[in-house]
Each structure stands twice: as structure tokens, then as C-alpha cells.
């Protein structure tokens, strides 16, 4: 039944990779799961008062278009590969010849652009907001002992248009299978880190908007600059010297954040950072409870491994 008011539960997100930046594909979209979205175009009002026009305010003017925002997405077995391709570029895929495939995404490459549509199909007057020339700027997630595993992707698009019908009436879909925090691990040197209670990771392409003068107020494009990765690890103070020894020696560590799916043999997601630097932290005692420290780390390019960050997703999808 059609509705007169919009609800998030009725929203549909479609996405496809563009052949040419800023040109929405006519079809070939995939329906993706998401938690929330702030992606949208803005054109704020500017004001420049003139004298000699009396005391009442004069007309404002329209600034340039800004189409950016975040989308909350699940860390899931299949759909996440679509976002990782947008964040890193096309993966190297290995067929294990048992129905499973490993997709390896590596930092530092050229990024494809996406066409996105956020639709409110169940409104009496349906509305579909289409974003062309979208590139992924960041991906960030947190790790904890329990709860759902989710991430936030940040996008910069060229512009937004509105339509009364969807761009693809028959999009592809990916069966949802989520990773959970309870199956997460944080490893240093391929060994599970002891006494770790939380962690964060943020990867950024640090996109630069090409803000040329145009009559439509939109940007000309988005260019990738320096790729960075940083985060934190929350660790309880103990006799374990895995981190403290590396910090004292001022030497980098090999760090990996990962998830598995219990009962799904071989299906996994891992974020590998071969060269991570940790700061020295004072051990504060704030009461009778446990003593804990948060290490805000920063990753660097590893000349031996050949990358800053490598993400490996093993699932049952043949290609992205």
C-alpha cells in the first residue's frame, strides 16, 4: 500500500560502477543493505549585503553544489566486496575450486566511480535520489567484544538528481550474511593479541575535489591523494610485552584486524597492515579497577609487502 510519509524501513539503495565519471549506468545495479545515510546534495545560501537598498534584507545567492555524506553499512560476507572495490579498486580474485573465492584489495590504486540511487518507492508519489560520480573517501569501523559489526563509508559525489521511478527495475541482489563482533580478532605478528578489549580502524583516500568554475555549480571530478590508515587498540595492562617491547624499540609491528563466520569454513574478512607504528603511552591508574591504555597507531607503506593496507574477503562470489 502506498504511503503519504517516508520511512527509513522502506528505503532502497542501488549502486553500480560507472564506465565514465559522472555518467549514471542505465542498468546493472546491485541492491545493497545499509543502516543509514547522510549522502545528499546541498546548495547553501550565501549573503552579500549592499548599501543604499534600505534596512530590509536583500536576496541571498546560491553557493556551489556539495554532494557528500556517509553511509552506514554492515560488515557482511558479500555486499562489503562492492564497497571495498569502490574504496581500493578492482581486487585480485583467486578461485579455490570448492565454491569459494578470495578477493584481495590493495591500497594505493586508482578508484572507480559509482552511480547510486536512494529510493522511497512506497510513497504515493515515489521519489528516487540519484548520485553520479561518487567516489569512496573513507571506511571506518570499531571492534568490541560483542554486537554487530558495522562500518561507515564516506563518499564524495558530483551531483544529485531526482526521479519519479527507479533507474533499474530488476537490480541484482546479494544474500545477506553478516560478520559479528564476537568472531573478531586483532593480531600482532600473526598472533592473537592478549588483553585487547577494543579497536578502531580508519582508511582514507583523502580525496581532493576538482572545484572548477561551472554553470551548474558541480565539481569536475575527484582525485585520490595520499592513502592513510590509522586507528587505535585498547589494551589492559598486563605482563604481556607484545606491544610495549615494540614501543620501547620504536619499531613497527605487523597488525591485522579480522573476522570469521562460525560454521562457514574458510569464509573470512581481514585487514592487514604490515607496518604500524605505536606511540608510547603513560600507564594511568584511575581507581581500583583494571589499568588500561589506548594506543593510537598509524600505518605506513611497507616496501617489502608492497602496500599500506591489504583487505582479503573470502566468500562465494566469483567476481566484483
Count other Cβ atoms within 10 Å, centred on residue 183.
15
Alpha carbon distance 319, 104 (integer Å) = 11
- Residue 247, pLDDT > 90, answer no
Closest CA to 317 of 183, 174, 211: 174
pLDDT in tens, 171-182: 999 999 999 998
Most confident of 77-91, 111-125, 243-257: 77-91
Query: What pLDDT is stored for residue 288 in this prediction?
Result: 65
Query: What pLDDT is stored for residue 287 in this prediction?
Result: 58
In this prediction the pTM is 0.91
- SS3 (DSSP) at 3: strand
Q: 223-261 as b/e, with b when 16 or more CB fall inside 10 Å?
A: ebeebbbbbbbbbeeeeeebbbebbeeeebbbbbbbbbb
Take residue 298 and report the three cell numbers written for it: 598509524
Most confident of 19-28, 216-225, 229-238, 288-297: 19-28
Take residue 244 and report the three cell numbers written for it: 610495549
- Residue 119, pLDDT > 70, answer yes
**What mean pLDDT, rounded, does the chain reach?**
91
What is the band of 240 on the pLDDT scale with cuts at 50, 70, 90? low
Query: What pLDDT is stored for residue 120 in this prediction?
Result: 87
Closest CA to 280 of 255, 248, 307: 248
Among residues of the chain, what percentage have pLDDT more than 90? 73
Amino acid at each position: 500500500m502506498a504511503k503519504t510519509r517516508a520511512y527509513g524501513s522502506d528505503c532502497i539503495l542501488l549502486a553500480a560502477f560507472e564506465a565514465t565519471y559522472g555518467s549514471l549506468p542505465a542498468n546493472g545495479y546491485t541492491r545493497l543493505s545499509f543502516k543509514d545515510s547522510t549522502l545528499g546534495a546541498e546548495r547553501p545560501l550565501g549573503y552579500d549585503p549592499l548599501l543604499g537598498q534600505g534596512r530590509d534584507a536583500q536576496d541571498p545567492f546560491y553557493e556551489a553544489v556539495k554532494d557528500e555524506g556517509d553511509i552506514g553499512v554492515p560488515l557482511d560476507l558479500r555486499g562489503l566486496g562492492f564497497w571495498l572495490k569502490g574504496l581500493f579498486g578492482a581486487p585480485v580474485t583467486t578461485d579455490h575450486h570448492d565454491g569459494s573465492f578470495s578477493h584481495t584489495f590493495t591500497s594505493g590504486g586508482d578508484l572507480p566511480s559509482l552511480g547510486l540511487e536512494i529510493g522511497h518507492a512506497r510513497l504515493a508519489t515515489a521519489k528516487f535520489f540519484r548520485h553520479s560520480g561518487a567516489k569512496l573517501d573513507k571506511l571506518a569501523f570499531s571492534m568490541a567484544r560483542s554486537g554487530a559489526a558495522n562500518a561507515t563509508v564516506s563518499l564524495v559525489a558530483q551531483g544529485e538528481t531526482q526521479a519519479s521511478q527507479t533507474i533499474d527495475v530488476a537490480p541484482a541482489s546479494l544474500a545477506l550474511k553478516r560478520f559479528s563482533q564476537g568472531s573478531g580478532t586483532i593480531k600482532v605478528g600473526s598472533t592473537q593479541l592478549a588483553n585487547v578489549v577494543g579497536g578502531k580502524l580508519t582508511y582514507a583516500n583523502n580525496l581532493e575535489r576538482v572545484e572548477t568554475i561551472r554553470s551548474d555549480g558541480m565539481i569536475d571530478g575527484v582525485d585520490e591523494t595520499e592513502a592513510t590508515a590509522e586507528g587505535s587498540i585498547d589494551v589492559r595492562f598486563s605482563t604481556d610485552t607484545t606491544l610495549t617491547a615494540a614501543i620501547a624499540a620504536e619499531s613497527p609491528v605487523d597488525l591485522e584486524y579480522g573476522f570469521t563466520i562460525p560454521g562457514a569454513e574458510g569464509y573470512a574478512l581481514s585487514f592487514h597492515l604490515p607496518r604500524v607504528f605505536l606511540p608510547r603511552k603513560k600507564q594511568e591508574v584511575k581507581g581500583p579497577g583494571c589499568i588500561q591504555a589506548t594506543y593510537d597507531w598509524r600505518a605506513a607503506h611497507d616496501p617489502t609487502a608492497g602496500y599500506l593496507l591489504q583487505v582479503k574477503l573470502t566468500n562465494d562470489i566469483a567476481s566484483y
